[in-house]
Structure 1
Amino acid sequence: AYQADQKQTSSSIRPSDDARVPIRGTVGSSNVQPNGGSMAIVPSLFVTVLQEIGRLCNSKVEFRSTVSTSKITQFSVEVLFSNEKIGNGIGKTRDEAQVQAAEKALQNLQS
């Protein structure tokens, strides 16, 4: 169920040179945070947007994670879009690494 204070948003991500896929989603109070008068999207939204792009393109989006157990535990996550690596991230938690990987993947899809 969606909350009454949510706004409808739309943006475009270009998955290929000849096709544009409109992305429409709902951004509610749980997905935005005040940031000095402007609004900043919560990082976990990157994962959701990437999964939605995959769904709209009928493409598989997969997150593969590994753990490095040296003195400091670090997580590494790769994003695969139709079995092609399009982003990676490293973080102190799996979620942090996944969000970073999803953000980089979205940046790569835009370019």
Structure 2
Amino acid sequence: MAFAYSSAPSLANNCGRSGEFSEPRLESTSLPICLLSCLNTITIWGFEGKLGEMEAAKYLLKNTEVLKKMTIYTHDRLCKKEEFNKEFSMFEMGSKTCQVEFI
């Protein structure tokens, strides 16, 4: 799973811009300090719905307060995207305005 994220322009130099995980496990101690408070978009490529991927996405949705949009690219069929969409709609979100889109 690969992902990219962006933050407010004034914070862009302080936050990392992209990353790739072979074993997607996010821990608060491994993230840049400003990440959770400034992150407003996340793009994930190659999402397969594996447990580690789900946990990483769930963690980011729950802990990013200003997130506006998470876009997730998956190679799966439409029915799988609908299943993911239903599951993600039940996740707790730190941002009340965040939209999650599966492509």
State the TM bucket, normalised to the shorter chain: under 0.3
More helix by share: 2
Please identify which structure carries the higher strand content.
Answer: 1
Larger-gyration structure (1/2): 1
Provide TM-score, normalisation by structure 1: 0.24
